[in-house]
Amino acid sequence: QVQLQESGPGVVKPSETLFLTCSVSGNSVASDYWSWIRQSPGKGLEWIGYISLTGNANYNPSLWGRVTISRDTSQNQFSLKLTSVTPADTAVYYCARGKATPGPWGQGTLVRVSS
């Protein structure tokens, strides 16, 4: 049974970099696609991007230039880096297995952008 758990700081200052990690159990990050998705307060869900089983990444054009998704196969984790954050990046960030059909998902972690 695949399980995912997000971790990272709960607060990030404006203009700084947000870094989150997703720890995976029950499957290898090298054998599937893995995605990041977020939900801003009171808003809908937004797909951020994915990393493939070969290590290539694809991102939502709305975040292009600010986002990087990478993986560490030795730790069986994948990560999200989002630069130059603003209050608009305040959201619950989820990791999930899959490229365009996410599931299962992690529980999510709330990240607030605030000084």
Partner 1 sequence: DIHMTQSPSSLSASIGDRVTITCQASQGIVSSLNWHQVKPGKAPKIIISGASHLEPGVPSRFSGRGGGTHFTFTISSLQPEDIATYYCQQSDNLPPTFGGGTRVE
Say how many residues make up the chain. Answer: 115
> Does the footprint of partner 1 cover residue 100 (CB under 8 A)?
yes
Token code pair at residue 33: 């696609």
Among residues 89, 102, 111, 113, the one that binds partner 1 under rule CB under 8 A: 102
The C-alpha atoms of residue 70 and residue 114 are separated, in whole angstroms, by 25
Output 31 or 101, the one with its CB closest to partner 1.
101
- By three-state DSSP, how is residue 31 classified? helix
> Does the footprint of partner 1 cover residue 56 (CB under 8 A)?
no
Hey, CA dihedral for 50, 52, 53, 54, is it positive or negative? negative
Q: Which range binds partner 1 by CB under 8 A, 7-15, 19-27, 66-74, 106-114?
A: 106-114
Q: Which range binds partner 1 by CB under 8 A, 12-20, 23-31, 43-51, 83-91?
A: 43-51
The C-alpha atoms of residue 51 and residue 91 are separated, in whole angstroms, by 21
In our burial notation (b when 16+ CB lie closer than 10 A, e otherwise), range 19-33 reads bbbbbbeebebeeeb
> Does the footprint of partner 1 cover residue 11 (CB under 8 A)?
no
Output 62 or 73, the one with its CB closest to partner 1.
62
> Does the footprint of partner 1 cover residue 44 (CB under 8 A)?
yes
Positions in the binding site for partner 1 (CB under 8 A): 4, 44-47, 58, 60-62, 94, 96, 100-108
